[in-house]
């Protein structure tokens, strides 16, 4: 076929609409994340620099174990620091009355733990905005599938009672089981077993207080195996989940 005279060949270039390389916008997101992280870092550095020497020392103590191999769980809030030495006084910080009360209770709990090596190895302490929590493994207080207090539990409960006698706080006692306990036929379920352990501890404290502790200041609750500390992967983990918790809190705070 003969070519048409005067015909023109047109080449059209189509540009892909997707941005690529440095022309895209993904780098802006990464850069924004980087700037945010740097701002948070410099803010943290500024807050640390603003702390008083006593506050820095108390904060540093939180991250040191009281003794090698000891299981002590400590949580730090913005204004509450639990030091290593239980005999230290309250540092000169701008604490509210509620925080001062928590601090004093935490020191007393740590002093209680320090008096018993077995208790040190089978307990922990933590705090939150409402109060102070002491966790004690059941091996120190109860035999498996039992709600009968062991003789050595008396020292623990005596210390718990003394704190109630000397501090204006209330106490919630929480019983926990592992996933295999059943009470050996004495209790219909793990719920009754865990509640019986908490109730046994409560009865002892009221009797030890000799009427000086109002029953309205104490509560007992059973949680069975519904709140495990660690996943059920071994017998060691099961032993950690079997525990009794003593939660001290201010009278104004309603908690279970």
Q: Where are the domains of the chain?
A: 64-249
- pLDDT tens digits along 165-178: 999 999 999 999 99
- pLDDT tens digits along 49-82: 776 554 555 555 545 444 443 333 333 333 333 3
As a whole-number percent, the residues of the chain with pLDDT over 70 amount to 71
Q: What is the pTM of this model?
A: 0.64
* 64 burial type by CB count under 10 A (0-12 exposed, 13-18 middle, 19+ buried): exposed
- pLDDT tens digits along 90-130: 444 567 777 888 889 999 999 988 888 888 888 889 888 88
Give the model's pLDDT for residue 88.
Answer: 42
**Alpha-helical segments (H) within the chain:** 26-50, 53-62, 97-114, 117-121, 138-141, 153-166, 190-209, 235-241
| Beta bridge pairs of residue 134 | 125, 246
Give the model's pLDDT for residue 117.
Answer: 81
- Over residues 179-195, mean pLDDT: 86
Give the model's pLDDT for residue 142.
Answer: 92
Give the model's pLDDT for residue 237.
Answer: 86
**Quick one: CATH architecture of 64-249?**
2-Layer Sandwich (3.30)
Give the model's pLDDT for residue 208.
Answer: 94
* 145 burial type by CB count under 10 A (0-12 exposed, 13-18 middle, 19+ buried): middle
- pLDDT tens digits along 213-231: 999 999 999 999 999 988 8
Give the model's pLDDT for residue 153.
Answer: 92
- pLDDT tens digits along 7-35: 666 666 655 555 555 555 677 777 888 88
Give the model's pLDDT for residue 71.
Answer: 35
Give the model's pLDDT for residue 234.
Answer: 86
Q: Which long-range contacts (CB under 8 A, 24 or more apart) does 230-235 make?
A: 232/178, 232/179
Angle among Cα 215, 216, 217 to the nearest 5 degrees reads 90
């Amino acid at each position: 076929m003969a070519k048409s005279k005067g015909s023109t060949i047109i080449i059209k270039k189509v540009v892909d609409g997707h941005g690529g390389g440095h022309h895209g916008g993904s780098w802006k997101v990464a850069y924004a994340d980087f700037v945010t992280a740097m701002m948070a870092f410099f803010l943290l550095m500024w807050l640390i620099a603003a702390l008083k020497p006593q506050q820095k020392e108390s904060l540093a103590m939180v991250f040191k174990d009281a003794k090698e191999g000891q299981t002590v769980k400590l949580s730090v809030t913005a204004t509450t620091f639990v030091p290593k030495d239980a005999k230290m006084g309250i540092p000169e910080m701008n604490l509210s009355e509620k925080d001062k009360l928590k601090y004093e209770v935490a020191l007393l709990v740590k002093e209680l733990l320090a008096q018993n090596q077995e208790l040190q190895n089978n307990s922990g302490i933590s705090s939150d905005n409402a109060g102070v929590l002491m966790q004690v493994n059941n091996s120190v207080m109860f035999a498996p599938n039992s709600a009968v207090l062991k003789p050595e539990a008396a020292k623990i409960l005596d210390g718990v009672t003394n704190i109630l006698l000397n501090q204006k706080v209330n106490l919630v006692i929480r019983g926990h089981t592992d996933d295999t306990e059943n009470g050996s036929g004495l209790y219909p379920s793990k719920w009754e077993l865990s509640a019986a352990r908490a109730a046994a501890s409560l009865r002892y404290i009221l009797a030890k207080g000799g009427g000086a502790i109002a029953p309205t200041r104490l509560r007992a609750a059973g949680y069975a195996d519904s709140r495990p500390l660690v996943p059920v992967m071994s017998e060691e983990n099961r032993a950690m989940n079997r525990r009794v918790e003593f939660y001290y809190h201010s009278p104004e705070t309603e908690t279970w």
